[in-house]
Structure 1
Amino acid sequence: MAKLLETEALLAVTENKYQRLLEQFRLAQHHRFGKSSEVSPEQASLFNEAEEECDKDESADVETVTYTRNKPKRKPLPAELPRTVIVHDIPDEDKTCECCGHD
């Protein structure tokens, strides 16, 4: 019976610690990600100037400009540079197919 009471007391202490840590975590999350205490409904109207200007601009005539972009082109290599042609060929014994024996 004493062992059972001791286990229940330990369980209650553990539960209290868990609840306290959980509350600390929630408070930290709210402090980090929650609403700021400085926010008030009047502040939203302070920054409407840009939106009002955009609304005025939309009613103005819209001019579209179309053009085609030129892709960048590489300059060709100078003609006076020496050029050599190298042909890589496989050996004669490898020129026949292993499956059917054709060239």
Structure 2
Amino acid sequence: MNIDIENLPDDPATLKKMLSQVMSRYQYLEEQFRIAQHKQFGQSTEGHPGQGELFNEAEALAVESDTQEETISYSRKKPTRKPLPKVLPREVIVHDISDEEKVCGLCR
């Protein structure tokens, strides 16, 4: 629906009819937008009534069986990294800055 704003009719009945059409179109589009948002972001359920009770055999067996507690005690070794061989050459490099650069501009 394309309405020319510059050439609207002067008849109030015609204007009311046009406004009613615009409002119904707006409500339709708003509903379509709400449905699209629900499809994209809403909760989706693929279940059917009674579907939750289909696979309760394990829970029924667990309730029927006696529960036994088992205590396990053991200790694990913490993984450690092997040191590098002593024959590898070692080189110490110290990167230092001047004393003026060690203090920031706010601390002076």
Q: Which amino acid aligns with 1:81?
A: L
Residue deviations 1:28-79, cap 9 Å, x none? 647x85655x7233x333211121233245x321102233333221110001
1:7 aligns with 2:15: yes
TM-score by length of 2: 0.54
Question: For 2:56, which of 18, 25, 48 is the aligned residue?
Answer: 48
Query: Pairwise mapping of residues 55-66 of structure 1 onto structure 2 (< 5 A)?
Result: 55-56=63-64, 59-66=66-73
Q: Which has the higher helix share?
A: 1
Task: Give 1:73's aligned amino acid.
Answer: T
- Pick closer, same or farther for the CA change 1:66–1:5 going to 2, 3 Å: farther
Give the share of equivalent positions with the same residue, in percent: 41
- Give the length in aligned residue pairs: 90
Task: Let me know the Cα RMSD of the aligned residues.
Answer: 3.7
State the distance in 2 between where 1:2 and 1:17 align: 22
**Separation in structure 2 between the aligned mates of residue 7 and residue 50 of structure 1, nearest angstrom:** 68
